[in-house]
A and B are shown apart, each in its own frame.
Chain A
């Protein structure tokens, strides 16, 4: 029903997207479900020393170490609440070729609150294009969904390139003797 209207405002790429929605500090966010591998409970993870405070640690995911990003700290400067609905969204993305780990898919865990629902972008009543903010390059647009504004996040731009290069070393560097 809102589809015709949405087709005018949401660009064609957005129209076919399935989103996974969550909140961070009471604000609604969404990421494209295409980049999501799995949603997990907030399992304990080990802190990593001397990393930015939004990297809350590493955890063993299916036998591999995966860094965990606290979206509360990253987006609101405050850690997420620990509830049953606070979950780790395991995402996979290709790091931008400018960084050291060029063109290899990497995995990260994003911790967010209320990770309990998905929706389709064409259900949006309205949309706004991506904000061009220098310190928030991950803001990929805003959707109006059921009366709330949902910020769409670009997973591959959530971390600054320098941090990505550090967290995801190239395979050659990763192989320790």
Chain B
């Protein structure tokens, strides 16, 4: 290694004055003085609106990339790339994770139609008990609003909050989930949840059987359990859930 030029000969030659790649240092930073990060006095902003559309910034970016790589940068990338590729699980499934009271549940993401804000509930006369809470207006259509809390044997919430600004427990905002049966693709159900954590990909291998300690009614609808951010999440059996909803609402 006494002669670094010879050792490095094949990989590249040191930068010389006559490089086809141009200068190695940015010439100015007008975007910081008269551009969007400065006082916005640049006349070119009339044309380009934002510095990111301006060829001057594009040139500067190009110049930036003409630098030699910083110390340790390539070596750290080398280490990253030595990690073997984790085979992607083709059997992964997407689920929508949400919270009811203190428990986390999930439904297959394909059943989800929309997540929307809480909104006023239209009560149905003489149907005060049971799981049917009433009807809600979702994009101009009245949909059946059920209490999933009650179905799953959790402490039933008194009623849907009257205004969207109301939150269920003062913390995370409650949401309405609109779900649809995949089999029929016609029946839609709306229920309130206390928090929506979004759609998560869960690998089939990460799912495990429901232990017998789970409360009876929740276990009845839980297909499998999986861990998500340190929480056990119960994946609900959509077929059983929707069939029971239908039976209990019409019954």
On A, residues with C-beta under 8 Å from B are 23, 25-26, 40-44, 47, 53, 56-57, 59-64, 70, 73, 79-86, 113-114, 116
Contacts and interface: CB of A to CB of B under 8 A. Distances in A.
A64 B13 CA distance: 28
14 contacts: A40-B77, A42-B69, A43-B75, A47-B10, A59-B78, A62-B84, A70-B11, A73-B10, A79-B12, A83-B67, A83-B68, A114-B65, A116-B61, A116-B65
Interface in B4-50: 10-13, 15, 19-21, 24
A81 B78 contact: no
Contacts, number: 88
Given A43-B74, A47-B10, A53-B10, A84 B65 contact: yes
Contacts of A59: 78, 81
A82 B12 contact: yes
Interface in B59-78: 61-62, 64-70, 73-75, 77-78
B162 interface: no
Main secondary structure on B side of the interface with A = loop
Contacts of A63: 82-85
B81 A113 contact: no
A25 B20 contact: yes
Contact of A80 (B12, B64, B75): B12
Contacts of B19: 81
Contacts of B61: 116
B15 A81 contact: yes
Nearest to B85: A62
B65 A83 contact: yes
Nearest to B73: A41
A1 B24 CA distance: 35
Given A40-B77, A43-B74, A43-B78, A26 B84 contact: no
B84 to A, nearest CB: 3
A82 B19 CA distance: 11
Contacts of B21: 23, 26, 81, 83, 85, 113-114
Contact of B83 (A43, A62, A73): A62
B202 to A, nearest CB: 23
Given A59-B81, A70-B11, A83-B69, 19 more contacts: A23-B20, A25-B20, A26-B20, A26-B21, A40-B77, A43-B77, A59-B78, A60-B82, A62-B84, A79-B12, A79-B13, A80-B12, A81-B13, A81-B20, A82-B69, A83-B65, A84-B70, A85-B66, A86-B12
A57 B84 CA distance: 19
B65 A44 contact: no
Given A53-B10, A114-B21, A43 B62 contact: no
A119 to B, nearest CB: 13
